[in-house]
């Protein structure tokens, strides 16, 4: 991993949102040598994010994956703030990793468009909303792009880089350069489509898994076991949804349904019921499975 960003990559990075994705994206950028500000409206969220990141990095040091000096240098480049105005004015790149809600994202991008210098690239981590929908809120559609990390962002190598119909070649090149300096693999989409590549393929698997469950053909556990032991998947579709959050999967399905109008694209009954009940997976203690207070799987919900 480099400690000096490439000359064609942005230098000053702001990450909007201090959740699991936003905080880890910020840490990945700091480890690669970028000056990073992680911004969130909640001071408590920022405190939790920093504490969680320090715990993650301490474990990496203990396992010999990184040196204590490298971690200390990265944290020296990483700041946490509730003040968007102050950090946006210096940003070369902003990566939005806020809640999967289009009006919320559009309002964030509208504000960023007014605050950031003309040179600033505005990126979203969303896979639920394509760049053109977000760019509508700005006066710089040529500098709006999706840079979609996968969970957990510090570990997963793939990053989908998605250009909208008005995204410039220069913006695309800068986004790809950033991803490469993070020691990750950029996968470029030259044409936008909701869900992008990996999640569209994964969604087809999830849709079939729910069909088998709701039809009474097999249990949640047995479907997951089949995917792990027959198909070589590290996690079954239900286990993976619990890890990433059922609300994220629901938002992705709802976004595709709103775009296409096809009832087959809508969230399933089983998923909708769980999200409505607040059973969002491991982070709430229950999703398709139940978990103890330490996040260990207990059994089917």
Active site residues: 127, 148, 160, 199
Single out the residue of 210, 189, 84 nearest to residue 127, CA to CA. Answer: 189
**CA 34 to CA 1: how far, in whole Å?**
12
Compute how many other C-beta atoms are within 10 angstroms of the C-beta atom of residue 18.
29
Q: What Rg, from alpha-carbon coordinates, does the chain have?
A: 19
- For tokens 């349904």, the residue is 257
**CA 104 to CA 106: how far, in whole Å?**
5
**CA 208 to CA 237: how far, in whole Å?**
10
All residues at 6 or more sequence positions from 126 whose CB lies less than 8 Å from its CB, including other chains: 96, 100, 105, 134, 146, 148
């Amino acid at each position: 991993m480099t400690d000096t960003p490439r000359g064609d990559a942005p230098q000053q990075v702001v990450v909007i949102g201090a959740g699991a994705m936003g905080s880890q994206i910020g840490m990945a950028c700091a480890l690669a040598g970028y000056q990073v500000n992680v911004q969130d409206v909640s001071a408590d969220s920022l405190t939790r994010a920093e504490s969680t990141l320090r715990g993650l990095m301490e474990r990496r040091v203990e396992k010999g994956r990184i040196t204590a000096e490298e971690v200390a240098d990265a944290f020296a480049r990483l700041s946490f703030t509730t003040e968007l105005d102050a950090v946006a004015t210096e940003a070369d790149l902003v990566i939005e990793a806020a809640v999967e809600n289009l009006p919320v994202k559009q309002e964030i991008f509208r504000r960023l468009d007014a605050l950031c210098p003309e040179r600033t690239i505005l990126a979203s981590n969303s896979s639920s909303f394509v760049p053109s929908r977000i760019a509508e809120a700005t006066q710089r559609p040529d500098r709006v792009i999706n840079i979609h990390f996968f969970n957990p962002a510090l570990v997963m190598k793939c990053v989908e880089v998605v250009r909208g119909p008005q995204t410039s070649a220069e913006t695309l090149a800068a986004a790809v350069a950033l991803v490469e300096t993070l020691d990750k693999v950029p996968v470029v989409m030259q044409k936008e489509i909701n869900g992008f590549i990996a999640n569209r393929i994964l969604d087809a698997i999830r849709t079939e898994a729910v069909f088998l469950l709701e039809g009474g053909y097999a249990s949640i556990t047995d479907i997951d076991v089949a995917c792990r032991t027959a198909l070589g998947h590290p996690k079954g579709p239900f286990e993976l949804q619990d890890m990433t959050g059922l609300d994220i999967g629901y938002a992705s399905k709802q976004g595709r349904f709103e775009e296409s109008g096809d009832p087959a694209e809508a969230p399933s009954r089983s998923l909708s019921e769980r999200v409505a009940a607040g059973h969002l997976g491991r982070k709430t203690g229950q999703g398709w499975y139940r978990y103890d207070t330490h996040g260990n799987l207990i059994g089917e919900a």
